[in-house]
Structure 1
Amino acid sequence: MTAVLLVVAALAGAGGALHVQGLLPAGVPSPSTPFDYHDYAKALRHVRANGDVDFASMGRERKTLDAFIDSLASFSPHNRPDVFPTPEDALAYWLNTYNALVLQQVVDGYPYLETVQQPWLGRFFWGRSWPVGGERLTLWALEHRVLRREFADPRIHLALFQAARGGARLDGSHFQPEFLDSQLNEAGRRFVGDRRNVRLERDTVYLASLFEERREDFLAALPEGRGGNVLQFVWAFLPDTCEERPGCDTRSDLDRACGPRLDKCRIAFMARDWTLPDAAARAARP
């Protein structure tokens, strides 16, 4: 009996690992229409200019978000490369897919979900899977097995919406292949320009913990490679002036504080603000 239980536990563990990594197959329904982002673009109308999301309104009008996510079961760059012929097509698809799935999961839990850390052990990102182009993918699999493995672009970390104020924020527009490079740069500027993510105080630079968690990815994108300094990546997205955001930190500020090689500053990593970016003022729960 003990041996049988051990075998069952081992199989359950193996199945769980396949689930988290998105290695289980899914059916591929025949599409009724060509793939497009029209419904997802409609859902993003509930994103405010400051990046907060009106989750209540999105939930009341969730048909468009659900319709887009339903379409993912039939199309992905893995099973339909003809629909996504360029790297930009593929990357835009995966970024939009990840962000849409996060939105749907928050809407499903709203208003009781107050933070994506509420489900135990980070289950928000690995507990649920969706059929995507013949695969059952979790958010964990999308980030680590697809995006990080297939695209050597650390800007994706600054574009993945994880429903936290101290993270990438939505801007109300979906990623489009023809504008993807400029959109990723804008996502970088938006992230670095938020003082919850980057803040300079004398000779100390306070950085979001994301820069520590994904340090190797950021360094790999620098000309110096892993021998570089993550502040070089931050510097690239700081503004030259503060005309649009009075009181912000600029490239010149970082140069003066840290020296031309950006090696004289101390780096301190800040804990992430996991507060849900909810546009509604929510009363405290009893």
Structure 2
Amino acid sequence: MYQKITFMVAACCLLLAVAVGASAPQSVDHSLFDRVLKKYVDEKGMVNYKALKKDPKDLNAYLDLLSKNPPATSWSKNDQLAYWINAYNAYTLRLILDYYPVKSIKDIGSKIQIPFVNTPWAKSFIKIGKETMSLDNIEHGTIRKQFNDPRIHFALVCAAVSCPKLRNEAYVGNRLDAQLNEQGVDFLNDPAKNAISGSRASLSKILDWYGDDFEKSGKTLESWINRYSKTKLTTDTKISYLDYNWNLNEQK
């Protein structure tokens, strides 16, 4: 009798686990964010913050969706990474709107009235599941820690002119590889962000700050640049780094 009851309990637990697994989402639908980006971001990656602040309904609904659906280990790696890139970019938009009008995201640091928090990236205002996070937590504690892909530096946008272009579509797992490659081509061939000639290369400070990320897995920063740049670096190319323009990536 005891064995029969034990078997029935085990069977019920298995059925419940299967049912829960079957009902768990395999990824998040990013179409709401896609709609926001297509409506308020132009082909140059500049944002109409003024209009978005007046109508943040879709953005807020998307952030609520992210908050309630943190990535699961059952998701593909690409679905997880797409989630976190979109989360970083979407919550950056939300942060700007919370303090808008501002001339730069860096101006927000002085406006944060929280002890020991003096940069916008350290402010814990992002609710993902049961965890409260900051933009730093997403970029450094999650993305850079869990995903060995330096191309994320072509996709994360901190609302500055010198950042990579904010893509006016959401990242999605089944197209993520192509999207990140397209971002690499766009970023490395934008002369305002990377001015590369045969003898000289004035590179983005992003490639300086995160150079170590590009040196992993036996690769070099130069090899990554040559993968996407139309003008190739040579052993004789003199490399320097451009000053970073922190002005807001706002449509004029």
* TM-score normalised by the chain length of structure 2: 0.81
| Aligned twin of 2:32 | 39
Letter matched to residue 58 of structure 2: T
Letter matched to residue 37 of structure 1: H
1:236 matches 2:227: yes
Shift of 1:210: 0.9
**Structure 1 pair 122–210 and aligned structure 2 pair: CA distance change class (3 A):** farther
Shift of 1:171: 2.1
CA distance in 1, matches of 2:104, 2:98: 13
| Uncovered stretches (5+) of structure 1, i.e. residues with no partner | 1-33, 240-249, 255-261, 281-286
| Aligned twin of 2:24 | none
Shift of 1:200: 2.6
Secondary structure, counterpart of 1:205 in structure 2: strand
> Which of these residues, 141, 145, 161, is aligned with residue 141 of structure 2?
145
Letter matched to residue 100 of structure 2: Y
Per-residue CA distance 1:143-193 (angstroms, 9 max, x = gap): 001000100000001100110110111121000111000000011111111
Shift of 1:35: 4.2
RMSD value, Cα: 1.9
Normalized per residue, the structure richer in helix is 2
CA distance in 2, matches of 1:122, 1:214: 22
Deviates more, 1:35-44 or 1:178-187: 35-44
**Structure 1 pair 151–122 and aligned structure 2 pair: CA distance change class (3 A):** farther
Per-residue CA distance 1:197-217 (angstroms, 9 max, x = gap): 211356221111111111110
1:266 matches 2:225: no
> Which of these residues, 181, 194, 207, is aligned with residue 177 of structure 2?
181
| Aligned twin of 2:202 | 206
Contact conserved, 2:31 with 2:170, CA < 8 A, in 1?
Answer: no
* TM-score normalised by the chain length of structure 1: 0.72
1:74 matches 2:68: yes
Shift of 1:122: 5.9
| Aligned twin of 1:17 | none
| Aligned twin of 2:9 | none
CA distance in 2, matches of 1:271, 1:122: 22
Q: Identity percentage over the alignment?
A: 27
**Structure 1 pair 35–88 and aligned structure 2 pair: CA distance change class (3 A):** closer
| Uncovered stretches (5+) of structure 2, i.e. residues with no partner | 1-26, 111-116
**1:1-286 correspondence runs (5 A):** 35-44=28-37, 45-77=39-71, 80-82=72-74, 85-111=75-101, 113-118=102-107, 119-120=109-110, 123-201=119-197, 203-221=199-217, 224-225=218-219, 228=220, 230-239=221-230, 250-251=231-232, 254=233, 262-280=234-252
CA distance in 1, matches of 2:246, 2:227: 26
Shift of 1:38: 2.5
